[in-house]
Amino acid sequence: MATKSTKKTAAKKAAPKKAAAPKKAAAPKKRKVNPALMKPVQPDDVLGAVVGSKPAPRGQITKRLWDYIKKNGLQDAKNKRQINADDALKAVFGGKKSVTMFEMTKLVSKHIK
């Protein structure tokens, strides 16, 4: 004869499971681009020698600067955040031989009109 506890477990196994109610997925919010960041700025002659002299948005100028750094192998091998300047970048960096990537953006902003 089966005990009450075995009957309950058998009843639990036989009971159909309820399907989970589908959750409503919130639509992802589209990020608004800050129009001030998309505004073309004019690099001066010193910075223009590295990234080009045509007006471009700040993000594009930074991208061109990084392309120049990677193309010429100016990132430090051990510390990738450190940038070793060549002659063109020394003028942009105010004569410094080596700067961090965070310091670089501050120094580049001085060369943008």
Per-residue exposure over 59-68, b if at least 16 CB sit within 10 Å of its own CB, e if not: ebbbebbbeb
Q: Going by C-beta distance under 8 Å and a sequence separation of 6 or more, which residues neighbour residue 111?
A: 43, 44, 46, 47, 92
> What count of other Cβ atoms lies within 10 Å of the Cβ of residue 80?
9
Q: Give the predicted TM-score (pTM) of the model.
A: 0.66
pLDDT of 97 over the 60 cut? yes
Q: What is the CATH number of the domain that holds 41?
A: 1.10.245.10
pLDDT at 3: 60
> What count of other Cβ atoms lies within 10 Å of the Cβ of residue 104?
22
Q: Report which secondary-structure segment, H or E, holds 99.
A: strand 98-100
Count of structural domains, the chain: 1
Q: Is residue 92 part of a domain?
A: yes
Q: Quick one: pLDDT band at residue 113, thresholds 50, 70, 90?
A: confident
Q: Is residue 62 part of a domain?
A: yes
pLDDT at 50: 92
Q: Is residue 50 part of a domain?
A: yes
Region of 38 (left: φ > 0; alpha: ψ -120 to 50; beta: rest) is: alpha
- Residues present in the chain in total: 113
Q: Is residue 61 part of a domain?
A: yes
Q: Is residue 104 part of a domain?
A: yes
pLDDT at 11: 56
Q: Is residue 64 part of a domain?
A: yes
Q: Is residue 43 part of a domain?
A: yes
pLDDT digits (tens, 9 = 90+) for 36-76: 778 999 999 999 999 999 999 998 999 999 999 999 999 99
Q: Is residue 71 part of a domain?
A: yes
Mean pLDDT of the chain: 83
pLDDT at 64: 93
Q: Which residues form the domain of 105?
A: 37-109
